[in-house]
A and B are shown apart, each in its own frame.
Chain A
């Protein structure tokens, strides 16, 4: 999880500085321009291309199903970490106190928060 925390921070930094786009070769051999480019633990490139609606499209250079699955896991972990950070921030801003936080089955994070109205 520490490695993924680091990746999240790196993405935030990279996104800020990404005035120019990176180029990467996809699985199909085409060249795509991406806003954020990272190298996964297996040395394969993984790109995040910002769409008009603000969402990111994930582009992979992996060719085997197992490597594609690995990159999907990385993308999911980043999404989960992003959602977790946003939720914690919002709870704090809205005056909630987190009373419980734990990892439950299926890699799901459970947070219990309370406030008095």
Chain B
């Protein structure tokens, strides 16, 4: 589990949809936007926020031998 992803969606009086994606660092948020928009309508514009330019979090798995060093 990488973390919580939050969408703030605004649907205007004319049916225009604006979406603010939070909790995803790096360009992966664009894929989330495209994936959601595919069955909603055409994407008119994408604006990158500060999170877009941040490094995505990566998990490191450290393997050890189980032996303590002396």
Question: Could you list which residues of chain A lie within 8 angstroms of chain B, going by C-beta atoms?
Answer: 76-77, 79-80, 82-84, 86-87, 89-91, 94, 96, 104, 106-117
* Complexed CA–CA distance, A91 and B4 (Å): 15
Residue ranges of B at the interface with A (Cβ–Cβ < 8 Å): 1-17, 24, 35-36, 39-41
Query: Which A residues lie within 8 Å of B36 (CB)?
Result: 90-91, 94
Minimum Cβ distance to chain A for residue B42 (Å):
10
> Which residues of the partner chain B approach A82 to less than 8 Å between Cβ atoms?
15
Which residues of B are found within 8 Å of A89, using beta-carbon distances? 39
Contacts of B8 in A (CB 8 A): 110-112
**Is there an interface contact between A110 and B10, defined as CB atoms closer than 8 Å?**
yes
Residues A76 and B15 in contact, CB atoms below 8 Å apart: yes
